[in-house]
Structures are given as C-alpha cells and as structure tokens.
Amino acid sequence: MKIFAPSFLLLLLTSSLSVAQVSAPPSFLHKNQQWVDSVFATLTPDERIAQLIMIPAVSDVKRALIDQKASNPTMVEKLIRENKIGGIVFFQGGPVPQARLTNFYQSISKVPLLVAMDAEFGLAMRIDSTVRYPYQMTLGAIQGNNDLIYEMGGQLAKQAKRLGMHINFAPVADVNNNPNNPVISFRSFGENKYMVADKAVAYMKGMQDNGLLTSAKHFPGHGDTGVDSHYDLPLISHSVQRLDSLEMYPFKALIANGISGIMIAHLSIPALDNTPNLPSTLSKPIVTDVLRDKLGFDGLIYSDAMNMKGVTKYFPDGKADAMGLEAGMDVLEFTEDVNKSIAEIKKSIAEGKITQAEIDARCKKVLAAKAWAGLNHYKPVDMNHLYEDLNLKSAELINRLLTEKALTVLKNDNNLLPLRALDALKIASVSIGVDTISTFQKTLELYTTVKHFQVPTKPTDAQVADLKAQLKDYNLVLVGVHLGSISPRTNYGLTDQMNAVLQDLIATNKAVVSVFGNPYALNKIQKPENAKALIMSYQLTNYTQDLSAQLIFGAIPAQGKLPVTVNAQFPYNAGIETPSLGRLKYTIPEEVGLDSKIITYKIDSIANVAITQKATPGCVVQLAKDGKVFFKKAYGKHTYEGPEKVQLTDLYDLASVTKITASTLALMSLWDQKKFDLDATMKDYLPDFAKSNKADLQWRRVLTHSARLKAFIVLWKEAQNPDGSWKKKTFSTKQSKRYPTSVVGDSLFIYKDYPETIFKSIRDSPLNEKEGYVYSDLSFILYPQIVKSLSGENFEDYLKNHYYHKLGANTLTFNPKRFYKLEDIVPTERDTFFRMTQLHGQVHDEAAAMLGGLSGHAGLFGTANDVMKVWQMYLQQGYYGGEQVLSKDALIEFTRYQYPEMGSRRGIGFDKPTFKYSGNAPRYASPSSFGHTGYTGIMTWADPAWKLNYVFLSNRVYPTRENNKISTLNIRTSIMDVVYQELLKK
C-alpha cells in the first residue's frame, strides 16, 4: 500500500471534501473586546499558555485523596495559584461540594475560570442529587419536531449555570453505525446522519440560547469504532468521501448553526492523515485543514481528555499537549502534567512549530468565551436553595415527556396493545433482574388487578420452577426486562439465567415484553420477535418503567421509532404506533399547567388542618385534569390512636357516593338499553307499589329528590321493642338458616326475609305534605331490585360484570372483607347504639347493614383510584379504555339540571352546584359540574368545563358521627377550590 506524505494528502482533501455550507460564527467571538484586551494585557506569556489548559477536578474529595489523582483539591489549588490555568473540568461528586469548591477555586484564580463538565444527559452524568435526562439514543427515538430536546437543552443550561458551570461538553454528534461500538452507542442520537444532525442542533441551541457554551463531539466522528479510545487508539479506515458525507455531516450542521465549540476525538484516520499512530487530536490536517479551514469553524476547538490511552499510548509526558496546539486546537482538556505541558509548548514556540501570536490569539478567544459566559461580571455560586434549584419540577416534566415520546412498540400481535377488555384478562407481571417490586409493576397495578413476581439476575432452579407453576393460572404475562448495564462489554446486564427465564416466558405465547435497556440488547435476547408484544424502553429508569406501564394500558400512545438498526427483524425506524384509550394517565401538576410546590403546600395545609383539628383521622386526596392524575396523596392514620398510616391503596366506605357510583350508573345503563324510562312511574317497575301512595311518582322526580319521599326511615329502631330487645323475626345473636346474614361480625344476624319488611316499610311510608327538595335515601334502597328485575342479574354482579371490571376498578365492592384484609380497609364509627362495636369492613349505614351490606344508597367500598376511574368515564361522557361504556346521551341527560325553574339543583341522582353558592360544591365549580358527598366523609366531583376530576376519601365518623368538622371547616370543597384558584391565575 502506498503511503502518501501529508502535503499530498492535503491535495486529496482539497479535492475530495465537499465545500462546507456557510458557517454561522459563534456568538461569543468579538464580544466584550475591552474586557478581553484588558485581561489579556495582565497575562505573562506562560499565563497565556495556561489559559488554554483545563484540568480535572472532583468534589468527591475523599475519593480524590484516596486515589491520589491530579484532580484532588490540593493539586488543583496549586495549579490555579501557581500556573494560572484557564479552566477546570468537574467529574465525580455532589452539587453542594462542587459549588463550594467552585467558589473557592474562583476566589484564588487571577482570571475567572472556565468551568466545564461532561453532562451529555444532565448533571447527573457526573454528580449525584441532580437531574438525569434521557440518553441521546433514547431521544433519537422521538419523531417529529425537536422542540422538547431544545427545551431540555435550555433546562440543562439553567441548571449548569446555577452550579457555576459555563460549558457542557455536549452534544455527542457521532453517527453510531456500529452496533458493537463500546464507547459511543447509547450516547449517540442514532445511525441516521440527518436525524443526528437535527437533534444535535436542537440540543445545542437550547443550551447556547440560555447562556451555556457547548462542544460537539467527537470530531470527525467516533460512531463506527470497535475500540474505546479511553483504552487504546481506534482506527477509522473509511474513505474521505465517506467521512465527509456521513461522519462529518452533523458537525457541518452544527457549525452552520453557530456552535461555540467542537471536541476532537483520539482516532487514527489514515484517509485524513496517514501518519502512523497519530491520533486526530494531534493532526494538523484534521484539526486545522479540515475543521478550521475546509469546514469554516471559527469557534473553540477542544481536545478530548488528554489522559486517555488513545493519545498517551504513543505521546506521553506533555509532548501531546504541545502537538495538540500545533495541530490547531484551542483548549487542552484534562492535561495530566501542567508544568510539563507548558514546558513542551514553550519549546514548540522556540522551535517555530507554533508562534506566540497564535497562542495569544487563542488566549483571546478563550477570554472572549469567558466574557460571553458572564465571567466578565463573575459572581460566586449562591449556596441558598441550591439543591431545590437544581431539581425543579419543570425538569421532571421534560423528562417525562421526552420518555413518553420515545417509547417504541416493535411487535404487537393482533393489536394486543394497548390492552382492552380488562374483564377478560387475568394478568401477572414478571420483573426480571430485580429482587423487589419494581416501578413498572407498581404502575401496572394502577390500572387493574395484577399479580406480581420478581426474578433476580441469577435465579435458582427452584425459583424458576415455582414461577412457571404459578403463571399457569394467568392468560397474560407483562414482562419487564431490567438491564442494569448499557455496555456491550457486560452483555448489557443480561445474564444467561435471565435470558433463559425470558425465553420460557416468551414460549408461553402470552408474554408482553418491555426491555429497559440499550436497544442493541435485543441482539442478546433469543427470538424476542416471538413475544406477543415487544416494547423498547431504551433505559432502566423510573420514568421508562412508569410510562411503559401506562403505554401498555393505553393511557399514552406509542410514538417512538428505533434510532438504530438492531438486526434484520428490528431495522432503523421500526416502530408501531398505538393509540391512547382514554384511561387515566399519572403525571405531575406541571403537565396540566400547575405548580407542584404551590398545589402540594396548599392541599397539605388543608389536609393537615383536618387531621390536627380532628375532623378526620386521615384521608386520601386524588385529582385529575384532562384525564391526567396530577395529585394523589394519603394523609394521617386509620384511627387517631392506632399506628396504621393511610395508604393510597386503602379501601373506604363510600356511603352515599354509592348512589351515583353504583345505583345511578346501573340506571344510566338500563336507560341506554331503553329498559328504564325516567318518565315512567314507580308502579311500572315495582308492581307492589301499584296500590301505594307512590304508585304514580315519576322516576325523574324521585331521582331528583323532589317526589315528596321521606328523607329516611330509622329501620333498625322499628325492629326494636320498647325494652330494647329485638322484635320477632328481626335479629339474632346467633347465625342460622333463619338468620343467615351478618349485620356486624359474629354478633348480630338478620332474619332471612327481613329485607322484604324494609321494602314494605318504604312502600307504606307517608309522603311529605309539601312538594320541594328533600334529599331521600328511600328510593335508592329499591334500585337493586329494579336492576335485577330489568337485567336479570344481581345488582353487584351487574355493576362488576358490565362496568367495574371493564374499567379496572376492581376494588369497588360491597362487603369488602370477602376479598381484602382488615388492614387494607379503613374503619369507620364505633357504633354505640345499634351494633355496639367498632365498624371495620362492614358498611356504616344501618339500613345497608340490615340489607346484608348491599344496597343502592350505601355499602360500596373502594380506593380513590378506582372511584376516579368511574368518574373519569363520566367526565368523558361514557368513554373509557377504548370503549363507549355508556352513551354520551346518558351522561348529558343524567348530569344536567332537571328542574332549574323550580330552584332545584339536582341532576338525575347527581348533585350539582346551587345557583347561589351554599357550600355543597366547590365555590368555583362550573354549572356543568356534578358530584356527591358521602356521610362517612367522602366527596367526588367532576367538572366538564375544567375537565377536573376530584376524589376525597375520609372516615370523619371515626370515632363518632357527631363530629362534623369535615363540613364546618369546608375541608372537602376547599381542596378542590385550590385547584380552581390556581387554574384561574393562568
């Protein structure tokens, strides 16, 4: 093979490289010239050289001292004081220690230091307790415009500046077209040069537009290497034409858009410079002739770290630093021996390899960059609220939105995803690679009942056998593959045992697999394409796990596309779009335009007042807007004296909210089927009422509490003799065939036919003398009979089979002790006049208890989350989970004011705001809103005008119903009003 001399090679470059597009000069050039000139004038020739040197620093001081590295604070301080170096690059540590060190180093520096960091995916790449954004490859999966990536760059810039930083060595502009690349891989946006360029430009602009210097890397392109330049010198054997058209393309785009800096890689590239073993960092044909002259780049050219084996293997002891400047670089990063470097650079000047004028020009360029970054008016890092300022909720929102848009569905047999028909699925989840329940699994259970299993990285044969046996009972298995590594050197964290378990699960033909790791890991999984559905989630983070689970259930759509070719089955741009199904999405207040800090503080304050004032021992608050649950929190304890803290998963006695979450729901369903007519009369569906005073009462009037029905009948007292004993055929203290049903625990049982006595009491009760609004329980006690008569199904079965199980609202149930442990159910009153015991897991309402715990007016239990699912279906006019569960017409009819001309605020079953504020509803609720309260301390409210959904659960009746502070303090309505007030400010 013929070896060309460098001069001949330059001729080749001139003819082969395409002419660069017109470059936009970096904005820092020729700015603040007076400050630059004045500072420059104070510098000695050696100090001008030192301005071109950046040394490493760490804020993990103990580690630095133990390792005795050049980055330890003593060495850094010495170099700043004695050599007047130009900048520092921070590595491991934490934000507060780094800020303190930054302030100290700046205080002892003659010229303000340029502070840098490799923060490609956020400050968390180097320091703890800060924001970690998605990897660039994850971002490469995002389709459409790159506004969110720009915004991420802006957020990162603000965080960096808050920490006293001035430059981020990012973005990575390498086109990763080698799946086995050991050093770039996930750090690249992908394999398509156009996509890489577009996203790199968006990221760069976001940072620079917000005052942070940037440095694209690793020029001329590190994407097609099989060697890590940290450990050796990689060889790039491509032609000039290939390098120009592919590897350099993103760098050209960045130059054209005014990037401030570019970092040179340590690569051997014979097509550009055939000097043996010469890294591109030290090559004048590459740094000056190509980057500076041909591509027209006028910004700062940085070396990659000068301690890497890619350069030090052949050029040790400071010689490489001098050669780097000779080649055309402006800044030397991570110089290992500053004194040797300065000595070698001075030697180069003396030998005429580089002139003092060139050094001076580069020094002035560095000073101009410092001035642009604000160092001409240097201020120390403010230590107050540093952690909070570096972890704003706005950054979390960007993280969530970026992750959501990146998630990629690669396989979806028969459009299985998103999951529909939850009532037909018996679901298990298996998280592979974890020892405890995962974030993925915790989010899955928000949508329906899921049985969870975990498989560690190296499971035993017994663990695997037990898993297989238990999974036989399920018809769908949601598998999360949790890969703890992103590197091909470690097989991406996939052990042989994990892979074997995964293959067994895929072979069941009922597995939906989510891979939380590098997309190239699909090459290590045996036949992942055989899964029923396959989701590439790109990373193992709480965001990817949470949102992948939400995608599976259709709370969010799938929109991502593979940014790289994995193999023939999964090529570049593969990705199946899936729709959202109108299920609840779980997020943070910022996604609906609210401030987490303000909302949380105000709601916390009200809830804590309720607890400290003993309005209730505890409560659960859940709020959603636009179908997005932005607030869910549990407060207090089950009881004032007990240790059990309230959990979001606790079941509460919903009391009268049963009326509209059960009875009204069933009636709307039957109205839809034209089996129930609101304008029919009571005798039409209750033949026994044909000769009663209620025969001709119209159901529309009955359901709006304007049919003259009595408020209630104290049924349990009617069963009692004057001496306090129970009348014949009422109650017994022993269970038997005649007294089969428990009223409370094992101490009181009701006569088998007594419900008929209750119904007759209602039938024969007198009517109120005057017409008008009187809230009544009586008709609601009758609706289970009507539902059974019209549908042929028992009331509870009808609700569960047609609604609750379809919605995934599986905790909604009567008599919850059949299915749940007592510790999962919040107790209510200590009954001292009827059942003479603590009510725990039994319905609080006496009439409902006498009906066996199941009635249309009370008796339903459930969690806040499951109640909200029903109410979200209401709010969406009958649509939920991809199905029109109820007709739009039903929701419109039942939730509108029925008799406003009579001054009635009621809908059909539903309560609505009074025409003049009275406190029954939130003060700012719209006229289209509807809801209900429950005697035990419950409130649900939906507002279509604001698309708000609110659930408040409490046990205010503990220990006694005499406590009504929950109402006198306006706890329930005030919490929702907080949200209205904040929205009104927008």
Give per-residue pLDDT as tens, 399-414: 999 999 999 999 999 9
Residue 588 lies in a domain: no
What's the confidence (pLDDT) of residue 2?
33
**Claim to verify: residue 894 and residue 929 sit in the same structural domain:** yes
Instruction: Tokens 């943070």: give the residue.
Output: 588
At 971, which helix (H) or strand (E)?
Answer: helix 971-984
pLDDT at 318: 81
Claim to verify: residue 454 and residue 547 sit in the same structural domain: yes
Classify residue 597: in a domain, yes or no.
no
Question: Is 431 found in the same domain as 378?
Answer: no
CA atoms within 13 A on the CB side of 91: 17
CB 286 within 8 A of CB 271: no
Contacts of 484 (CB under 8 A, 6+ apart): 433, 457, 493, 540
Residue 376 has a pLDDT of 97
Q: How many domains does the chain have?
A: 3
Q: What residues does 622 pair with on adjacent strands?
A: 632, 951
CATH number at residue 694: 3.40.710.10
Tokens of 621: 């608050």
- What is the pLDDT at residue 9? 37
Is residue 592, in this structure, part of any structural domain at all?
Answer: no
C-alpha closest to that of 447 among 856, 972, 882: 882
Backbone angles phi, psi at 177, to 5 degrees: -110, 15
Residue 355 CB coordination number (10 Å): 11
Please, which residues bridge with residue 741 across strands?
750
Instruction: Based on the fold, state whether residues 382 and 413 are members of the same structural domain.
Output: no
Residue type, 358: E
Distances (CA, A) of 795 to 55, 781, 798: 75, 11, 5
Strand order in the sheet with 860-862: 652-653, 860-862, 813-814
**The predicted structure's pLDDT at residue 766:** 96
552: confidence class by pLDDT, cuts 50, 70, 90: very high
Tokens linked to 46: 């050696």
- Confirm if 662 and 860 have CB atoms less than 8 A apart: yes
Cα–Cα distance, 482 to 345 (Å, whole number): 50
Helix (H) or strand (E) holding 612: helix 596-612
Average pLDDT over residues 751-776: 94
Do 526 and 612 lie in one domain? The reply is no
pLDDT at position 20 is 44
pLDDT of residue 22: 61
Q: Are residues 576 and 635 in the same domain?
A: no
Per residue in 914-935, pLDDT tens? 999 999 999 999 999 999 999 9
pLDDT for 344 beyond 60: yes
pLDDT at 481 over 70: yes
Pairwise CA distance, residues 425 & 449, whole Å: 9
Residue 401 within a domain: no
Phi, psi of 360 (to 5 degrees): -60, -40
Each residue of 286-325: pLDDT tens digit? Answer: 999 999 999 999 999 999 999 988 888 888 778 999 999 9
Amino acid at site 457: T
In angstroms, the first-to-last Cα distance of the chain is: 71
CATH number for 376: 3.20.20.300
Is residue 231 scored above 90 in pLDDT? no
713 and 566 in a single domain? The answer is: no
Token output for 111: 């010229």
| Residue 78 sits in the same domain as residue 221 | yes
Asked if the structure places residue 397 within a domain, the reply is no
Q: Give the three-class secondary structure for 272.
A: coil
Strand ranges inside 758-853, DSSP E: 813-814, 830-831, 837-838
DSSP state of 315: S
Mean pLDDT for all residues in the chain? 94
- Alpha-carbon Rg of the chain, whole angstroms? 35
Nearest alpha-carbon partner for 574 in 191, 56, 53: 191
Q: Are strands 879-880 and 883-884 parallel, antiparallel or unpaired?
A: antiparallel
Q: Is residue 395 part of a domain?
A: no
pLDDT in tens, 649-688: 999 999 999 999 999 999 999 999 999 999 999 999 999 9
Q: Is the pLDDT score of 609 beyond 70?
A: yes
Q: Which of 57-71, 133-147, 749-763, 956-970 has the lowest mean pLDDT?
A: 57-71
Q: Mapping DSSP to helix (H, G, I), strand (E, B) and coil, where does residue 550 land?
A: helix
Q: How do residues 625-635 score in pLDDT, each as one tens digit?
A: 999 999 999 99
Contacts of 603 (CB under 8 A, 6+ apart): 621, 631, 633, 975, 978
Cβ atoms 825, 955 nearer than 8 A: no
CA dihedral 866, 844, 923, 964 (to 10 degrees): -140
Q: In the beta sheet, which residues pair with residue 934? A: 938
Pair of tokens at residue 268: 């051997």
Based on the domain organization, do 319 and 373 belong to the same domain?
Answer: yes
Mean pLDDT of 936-956: 98
Q: In sequence order, what E strands does 665-785 have?
A: 731-732, 741-744, 748-750
The pLDDT of residue 598: 98
DSSP assignment letter at 183: S
How far from the centroid of its chain's Cα atoms is residue 826's Cα? 29
pLDDT of residue 723: 85
Residue 529 and residue 623 in one domain:
no
Instruction: Give the pLDDT band (50/70/90) at residue 65.
Output: low
| 801 neighbors 705 (Cβ within 8 angstroms) | no
CA angle 890, 896, 898 (to 5 degrees): 110
Looking at residue 512, which CATH number applies to its domain?
3.40.50.1700
Is 902 within the bounds of a domain? Answer: yes
Q: What share of the chain is helix, strand, coil (3-state, %, to 5)?
A: 40, 15, 45
Give the model confidence (pLDDT) of 486-542 as tens digits.
988 899 999 999 999 999 999 999 999 999 999 999 999 989 999 999 999 999 999
Contacts of 372 (CB under 8 A, 6+ apart): 27, 28, 31, 32, 213, 260
- 607 and 715 housed in the same domain: yes
> Would you mind telling me the total number of residues written for the chain in this entry?
986
pLDDT at 477: 98
pLDDT at 6: 39
pLDDT at 421: 95
User: Does residue 48 sit in the same domain as residue 115?
Assistant: yes
Q: Provide φ and ψ at 314, rounded to 5°.
A: -115, -15
Contact between 778 and 797 (Cβ < 8 Å): no
8 A C-beta contact, residue 726 and residue 750:
no
Kindly report which listed range (494-503, 611-620, 640-649, 714-723) carries the lowest average pLDDT score.
714-723
Cis ω for the linkage preceding 179 (within 30 of 0): no
> Is the per-residue pLDDT at 16 higher than 70?
no
Residue 398 belongs to some domain of the structure: no
Rounded to 5°, the CA angle 95-100-104 comes to 145
Q: Around 238, how many Cα atoms within 13 Å sit in the side-chain half-sphere?
A: 21
Bond from prior residue into 220 cis (ω within 30 degrees of 0): yes
Angle at 454 between CA 449 and CA 459, to 5 degrees: 155
For residues 335 and 53, is the Cβ–Cβ distance under 8 A?
Answer: yes
Q: Residue 216 is inside which H or E element, if any?
A: strand 216-219
- What is each CA distance from 553 to 422, 477, 516, 689, in whole angstroms? 9, 13, 17, 46
- Interval 945-953 mean pLDDT: 98
Q: 573 lies in which domain range?
A: 407-581
Q: Which two tokens stand for residue 352?
A: 């005429």
Q: Is the peptide bond before 755 cis (omega within 30 degrees of 0)?
A: no
pTM of the predicted protein model: 0.95
Assigned token pair, 89: 């690059």
